[in-house]
Structures are given as structure tokens and as C-alpha cells.
Amino acid sequence: MKKRVAIICGGRSSEHEISCISASGVIAAIDRKEFDPILIGISKSGAWILLKDATDFVGGESGLPSVPENRSNVSFRSNGFFADSNESSNVSPNVSLSVDVVFPLLHGAYGEDGTIQGLLEMLNIPYVGSGVLASSVAMDKTFAKPIYSDFGMNVADGITVHQRDWRENKSLEIAKISALGFPIFIKPARSGSSRGTYKVKDASQVESAIDSAHKFDPKAMAEAAIVGREIECAVLEIDGKPEASVLGEIKVNPPHEFYDFDAKYLDGSTSFEIPANLPASLTERIRSAAVAAFSALGCEGLARVDFFLTEDGKIIINELNTMPGFTPRSVFPMLWEASGKNYSELISQLIKSALQRSQNVVR
Ligand SMILES: Nc1ncnc2c1ncn2[C@@H]1O[C@H](COP(=O)(O)OP(=O)(O)O)[C@@H](O)[C@H]1O
Ligand SMILES: [Mg+2]
């Protein structure tokens, strides 16, 4: 019997459109001999809708695809997902969608952060990727960093800037931030796609950068800027064991000073070197560090682990993404392609892992 896979995409986060692009890729490449996919979109306002396929997306920000609003027709009860008819879905009222497994292809808040994972745990539906705790810890860099440090990994020096402290005593916060030395990076604790992230060169730019970061998250971070190469590794769980891919290097070209949103998705100025041009011993150290980070946070299924590599060979972990960009041209699938697993195989492997494991909570 084919397994029915619900690919859930869109969502309320600033990475809505990227999630829709990831879902278009998965729906096109999923092995239909093994799986029967359905596509559920979550609109930016949080409405759930059963989509026919990727042609149901509408043009969103920067012309990227987005889930249409005002057509909510998916609901969930303790026994699963249900849909009512609408012009696109052709189903009768309140029909069970009989989902065997969910691929929550959501990036960022309300998706990659443990929230949908919690919902799926309660509904008793297996799902691709990390559970509640690993998802939420990885999402909040202020929680993930101390765990990496605890496991002996290097992280960038930095401090957390809570909006309430910022409002109450801005000059003290600015003094603490400035003590890191410049340049620094200011970013939201729980964001993605470089939204709200700024390279700040002197004290005069701190205030506007923190205000902007706080628009994405009441918790911002200031971090010493690391000068180094950006190296990424994709970790995939195969038969219960996390395996590291070959490494890739992100090469950001001018005018971008770092890997910002436009460099990531829009203007084609970024290139990826896969495999990264590194000596074998360093490659192995970074691959082991990626698996160690995956295990340290208790991840499952997949993760992309991002590092800085300094001139003098120091490996610094920047972040771990539990649901990395997943279009066929995204880093995670490309790293696995170069490691001998194509996009369709990757999707099958992820669903297989999700169906194999019992849910995370000890009963
Ligand atoms: N401490 C830092 N030093 C140097 N570059 C940084 C630092 N923090 C962030 N960056 C740059 O900003 C980009 C986005 O930051 P990151 O923390 O990865 O956030 P996101 O979750 O949005 O991807 C990184 O890929 C890197 O180019
Ligand atoms: Mg990043």
C-alpha cells in the first residue's frame, strides 16, 4: 500500500515563500510508486488549505510563490486531518485526509521551531525531521549556542539583547554590545534566511540594527563578527544513524558583505563550491563536528549544520537548521547529490526514517 504523505508548506514565518519553493520541488520529485502525496498550505495568516498542486500558489513577496489566503478548508481533530470542499480540492465536506506521515516542509517560526511537531505528536502522526525539543532549541540560537559550547565546540562570542532591557536601559545595552568590539553581527535569536540580520561597523549603527532585529524577534543577539569561510554540512539519518555529507562552501560575492537574504535567494550572486576545497583532515573534522552537533541537540531525520572556518583552522559552529531549504537547488539536496543520493532518494529516505521511528515522547 502506498503511504499517504502530507507535505505541509508556507506557514506564518518570514520564510513562507522559501517553504513553498521547497514544497514545489518535493511534490515534483517524490516517488509516486511508493508515496501518494497531498499538499497542504498554511497561509501567512495561519489558514490551512488543501492545494491541488504547486500551481495553486499565488505570487507573494518578490514574486515568489505563496499560499493563497481566505480559502481555509483543512481542519484537524484528535484522529487526524480533515478537509472540506473548495474550488481547488474537489472533496466532499469533512473528508478524512488519511495521512500516514507528514513532511513538515516549513522553515522558521511556527514550523521549524517545534510547534507543528508538537501538534503532530498530539495527533499521533509520524513526521519527517526533528522532534519538539531539538526543533525549538535549534531555532533559538541563544539556547543552542551554550549546548554547542558544552559539547566542546567553538561559538562566536556574543550577548542576548532582550527587548524589555533595551527599552529600559538602552545605554547600558549599547555599552555591553560595544564591548564585543566592531564589527559585530546583530540578528534575531529565532529567525532564518538572514532576515533582520545586520553587519554593524560602529556604535552609531547599533541602535537601528537592534530595533530592526527586534521587529523579527523580541530577543536579538549581538555577536563578534567571525572572519572566515562559510562551510556547510548536511546530516541525514540513515537507519537510525546520522551520516554527514560532503562539505560545501558558500561563496558570497560583492556587493554582498555576508550571506544576506538577497544573496541567498534573489540575485544569483552566491556560488557554492561542492565539495569544498579543504584538506582531508579538516574535512573530516568538520564532518564529525556536524554529526556531533546533530547529536548534541538530539536531532532526527535531517539537519544542515553551518560553520565558519577561520584562516588559522579554527572551526566555529554558526547554526544548525532542522528543516533547511529543500528545493532541488538548495544546499542540503545538492550536498547529498554530491554524496551519491539524488533528490528523490533523499525524500524517500526521510519519509522512511519518519515511518521507522516511534514518536519521541516516552510513554
Ligand atoms: N558572528 C558572525 N560572524 C560572521 N558572519 C555572521 C555572523 N553571524 C551571522 N553572519 C552572517 O549572516 C548570515 C546569516 O546569519 P545566521 O546566523 O546564519 O542566520 P539565519 O538563521 O538567518 O541563516 C551568515 O550566513 C553569515 O554570512
Ligand atoms: Mg544561516
Atom 2 (ligand 1): residue with closest C-alpha? 225
What local confidence, expressed as pLDDT, does residue 88 receive? Answer: 53
Q: Determine whether the shortest distance from the Cβ of 156 to ligand 1 is under 6 A.
A: yes
Q: Torsions phi, psi of 213, nearest 5?
A: -65, -40
- Give the integer Cα–Cα distance in Å for 67 and 11: 8
Angle at 100 between CA 98 and CA 106, to 5 degrees: 105
Residues 91 and 233 in one domain: no
Question: Do 168 and 246 fall into the same domain?
Answer: no
Ligand nearest to the CA of 192: 1
Give the lowest-confidence range in 173-182, 335-344, 349-358.
Answer: 349-358
Residue 261 has pLDDT above 90, yes or no: no
Q: What is the pLDDT of residue 126?
A: 96
pLDDT of residue 363: 42
Atom of ligand 1 nearest to the CA of 196: 22
Residue 102: closest CA among 223, 4, 17: 4
CB atoms within 10 A of CB 126: 19
Q: What is the CATH number of the domain that holds 281?
A: 3.30.470.20
- Average pLDDT value for residue range 150-160: 97
Atom of ligand 1 nearest to the CA of 192: 22
Grid coordinates belonging to 107 = 522553515
Whether residue 211 sits in one domain with residue 65: no
Last-in-domain residue among 224, 247, 269: 224
Among the three residues 224, 242, 274, which one is the final residue of a domain in this structure?
224
For ligand 1, is residue 127 a contact (CB within 6 Å)?
no
Which element (helix H / strand E) includes 133? Answer: helix 132-139
Total tally of structural domains belonging to the chain: 3
pLDDT for the residue numbered 85: 67
Q: Which of 113, 180, 187 to mutate to test the pocket of ligand 1 (most atoms within 8 A of CB)?
A: 187
Q: Could you tell me if 348 and 302 lie in one domain? A: yes
Mutate to test the pocket of ligand 1, among 107, 140, 185, 190 (most ligand atoms within 8 A of CB): 185
Atom of ligand 1 at shortest range from CA of 226: 3
Q: From the CA of 195, give the closest atom in ligand 1.
A: 22
* 172/211 same-domain check: yes
With a 6 A CB cut-off, is 230 part of the ligand 1 pocket?
yes
pLDDT, tens digit, 9 for 90 and up, residues 160-212: 999 999 999 999 999 999 999 999 999 999 987 788 999 999 999 999 999 99
CB 76 within 8 A of CB 119: yes
- Residue 171 belongs to a domain: yes
Let me know if residue 143 belongs to a domain: yes
Rounded to whole angstroms, how far apart are CA atoms 131 and 114? Answer: 7
- Strands 35-42 and 3-10: what pairing? parallel
At residue 317 the predicted structure's pLDDT band, cuts being 50, 70 and 90, is: very high
Q: Outline where 152-301 has alpha helix (H).
A: 163-168, 170-178, 206-216, 261, 280-297
- Look at residue 251 and tell me if it is in a domain: yes
C-alpha of 313 from chain center: 27
Instruction: Provide mean pLDDT across the span 142-157.
Output: 97
Domain that includes residue 255, residue range: 138-154+227-356
- Considering the domain architecture, whether residues 46 and 164 belong to the same structural domain is answered as no
Identity of residue 35: F
Measured from the CB, is residue 142 less than 6 Å from ligand 1?
Answer: no
Task: State yes or no: pLDDT of 266 exceeds 90.
Answer: no
The pLDDT value recorded for residue 91 is 55
Whether the predicted pLDDT of 157 surpasses 90:
yes
Which bin fits 194, alpha (ψ -120 to 50), beta or left (φ > 0)? left
pTM of this prediction exceeds 0.85:
yes
One domain for residues 89 and 146: no
d(CA 22, CA 207) in angstroms, rounded, equals 35
Q: What's the DSSP call for residue 310?
A: E
- Percent of the chain scored above 70 by pLDDT? 95
* DSSP three-state, residue 80: strand
State whether the beta carbon of 258 lies less than 6 angstroms from ligand 1: yes
Asked, for residue 199, whether it belongs to a domain, the answer is: yes
Distance CA 304, CA 289 (A): 12
The CA 39 to ligand 2 mean position distance, Å, reads 27
Which residue out of 140, 258, 305, 321 has the highest number of ligand 1 atoms within 8 Å of its CB and is therefore the one to mutate? 258
Q: At what angle do helices 115-123 and 132-139 cross, to 10 degrees?
A: 170
Question: Are 23 and 123 part of one and the same domain?
Answer: yes
Query: Above 50 in pLDDT, residue 107?
Result: yes
Q: Do 91 and 10 belong together in one domain?
A: yes
Residue nearest to atom 21 of ligand 1 (CA): 192
CATH number at residue 87: 3.40.50.20
Say yes or no: CB of residue 318 within 6 Å of ligand 1.
Answer: yes
Cβ of residue 140 lying under 6 Å from some atom of ligand 1:
no
CATH at residue 171: 3.30.1490.20
Maximum mean pLDDT: which of 83-92, 261-270, 328-337: 328-337
Helix (H, G, I), strand (E, B) or coil at 350: helix
**Domain finish residue from 168, 191, 224:** 224
Among the atoms of ligand 1, which is closest to the Cα of residue 258? 27
Q: Is residue 363, in this structure, part of any structural domain at all?
A: no
Q: Are residues 25 and 165 in the same domain?
A: no
Average pLDDT estimate for 322-329? 94
Whether 331 is in a domain gets the answer: yes
C-beta of 216 in contact with ligand 1 (< 6 A): no
Among 64-78, 127-141, 149-163, 232-246, which is the least confidently predicted range? Answer: 64-78
Predicted confidence at residue 84, as pLDDT, reads 85
Q: For position 358, what pLDDT does the model report? A: 67
Residues 205 and 352 in one domain: no
Is residue 264 one of the residues assigned to a domain?
yes
Say if 362 falls within a structural domain: no
234 and 199 in a single domain? The answer is no
